[in-house]
Amino acid sequence: MKKISIVGSGFAGLAAARKLRTAEPKAEITLIAPKAEFVYLPGTIWIPSGLREPEQLRIRLDTFLHRMKIKHYPASATGLKDGGRTLITDRDPITNDGLIICSGGRFIKKLPGIEHTITPCEGIPAATRIRDRIAQMQSGTIAMGFSGNPKEPSAMRGGPMFEFLFGIERMLQLDGRRNNFKLILFTPAPSPGNRLGPKAVDGLLSEIRKRGIETHLGHKIKGFTETSVQTEGGEFESHLTLFMPGITGNKWFDNTDLPRSAGGLIQADQLCRVQGMQKIYVAGDAGSFPGPDWMPKQAHMAELQANTAATNLLAELRGEKPTKHFRVELVCIVDTLNSGMLVARNQKYNLVLPNMRLFHWLKRLFEWWYMRRYR
């Protein structure tokens, strides 16, 4: 019986677990994560408006893990030894015959004054802080921005910032407070959302103008204060700053021999195999993968990589040559609280459909359908 360890209980980790169990009913699978819990992070965009409460986005995984016959080991990874066959944790070490790393990435918090900002994609606590701060404000300027990892352009997550931007703008409209606030989008990129495709950029900028949102684009960010954002293009006032920095590797990667990309992520190939390592795979934000510069760091892409990693690891454990490549694909609905814009992109086409109420409800339906499998 083969022993397989999965690090992380996010989108990639759970997708890998499902794929492994479906393909290999007798494998001994262990999921290593601090809690047997899944958080549906895409839904945090609706916490500031009250459309979602934190507990609606958390799922205890006990039932799912029991049903799938997967063991949960409540710990955090801290290192590797024995060529990856032993995972070091903050509890006892765990041995494996194969390992899939799905522990996500870490936001780069190096800019001066970044402690004065809130990083929305850090999870439910960040989204509730945003909700509470806005509820306390009667007027002022709210600045929302994002940047990338300068050494790894693909290691960024700008899409959710547009959803927070549009969602907060719409929420203020519904509250009758919009005229009391100035909203500003800032990013070093001159064309925000460029990874979604040229048509998407035009659509996003049109939506921004239509909503009376100001922009500060194309200027390198220098730092933050409690009441301002500082860039090479000037400093502007901000009473609440939401900022999504670029992504790098987890701290525990430093205690391993895992190969790293220039941006600090785990270097992998198109098979999701960690380069130069035996029976070690990576999926999701933790990895640096070959592909186009627009390849997204999003849940859908993480699942595609996780399925590939699981398939290839099982092949390797059977003594076969792994051959499955992951598909590069971007699919998202940029939500505006009561409508949404559908964007899809692969290496053959780029589809952008206009803002429609239907897409908002499709996003909510998908959330229900997705979370249902883990309840």
- Show the 3-state SS of the chain: CCEEEEECCCHHHHHHHHHHHHHCCCCEEEEEECCCEEECHHHHHHCCCCCCCHHHHEEECHHHHHHHCCEEEECCEEEEEHHHCEEEECCCCEECCEEEECCCCEECCCCCCHHHCECHHHCHHHHHHHHHHHHHCCCEEEEEEECCECCECCCCCCHHHHHHHHHHHHHHHHHCCHHHEEEEEEECCCCCCHHHCHHHHHHHHHHHHHCCCEEEECCCEEEEECCEEEECCEEEECCEEEEECCEECCHHHHHCCCCECCCCCEEECCCCEECCCCCEEECHHHEECCCCCCCCCCHHHHHHHHHHHHHHHHHHHCCCCCCCCCCCCEEEEEECCCCEEEEEECCCCEEEEEEEHHHHHHHHHHHHHHHHCCC
According to DSSP, the residues that pair with 60 across neighbouring strands are 37
For 209, phi then psi, to 5°, come to: -65, -45
Per-residue pLDDT of the chain (375 residues; tens, 9 = 90+): 899 999 999 999 999 999 999 999 999 999 999 999 999 999 999 999 999 999 999 999 999 999 999 999 999 999 999 999 999 999 999 999 999 999 999 999 999 999 999 999 999 999 999 999 999 999 999 999 999 999 998 898 888 999 999 999 999 999 999 999 999 999 999 988 888 888 888 989 999 999 999 999 999 999 999 999 999 999 999 999 999 999 999 999 999 999 999 999 999 999 999 999 999 999 999 999 999 989 999 999 999 999 999 999 999 999 999 999 999 999 999 999 999 999 999 989 899 999 999 999 999 999 999 999 998
With beta carbons less than 8 A apart as the criterion, state whether 30 and 6 touch: yes
Angle between helices 11-23 and 299-317 (to 10 degrees): 40
Which amino acid is present at 214? E
Query: Per-residue pLDDT tens for 278-332?
Result: 999 999 999 999 999 899 999 999 999 999 999 999 999 999 999 999 999 999 9
Q: How much is the pTM?
A: 0.95
**In the numeric block, which tokens belong to residue 208?**
């921004």
CA angle, 143 then 199 then 287, to 5°? 70
Residue 193: what pLDDT? 84
Length of the chain: 375
Which amino acid is present at 176? G
**In the numeric block, which tokens belong to residue 143?**
């600045």
The Cα–Cα gap between 16 and 302 comes to 10
The Cα–Cα gap between 101 and 298 comes to 16
Q: How far is CA 48 from the centre of its chain?
A: 18
For 93, phi then psi, to 5°, come to: -70, 155
Query: Per-residue pLDDT tens for 346-357?
Result: 989 899 999 999
Residue 1: what pLDDT? 80
Cα dist. 305→12, 102, 302, 327, 372 in Å? 7, 10, 5, 8, 22
Residue 192: what pLDDT? 87
Instruction: Walk me through the domains of the chain, giving residue ranges and CATH numbers.
Output: 3-105+249-317 (3.50.50.60), 109-246 (3.50.50.60)
Between the two ends of the chain, the Cα-to-Cα distance in Å is 28
The Cα–Cα gap between 326 and 347 comes to 13
**In the numeric block, which tokens belong to residue 128?**
């509730």
The Cα–Cα gap between 53 and 30 comes to 30
Residue 186: what pLDDT? 97
Residue 15: what pLDDT? 98
Do the bridges between strand 240-244 and strand 266-267 make them parallel or antiparallel, or are there none, so unpaired?
A: unpaired
**In the numeric block, which tokens belong to residue 171?**
């929420």
The Cα–Cα gap between 357 and 351 comes to 18
**In the numeric block, which tokens belong to residue 163?**
């959803």
In 3D space, the residue among 213, 206, 204 whose CA is nearest the CA of residue 182 turns out to be 213
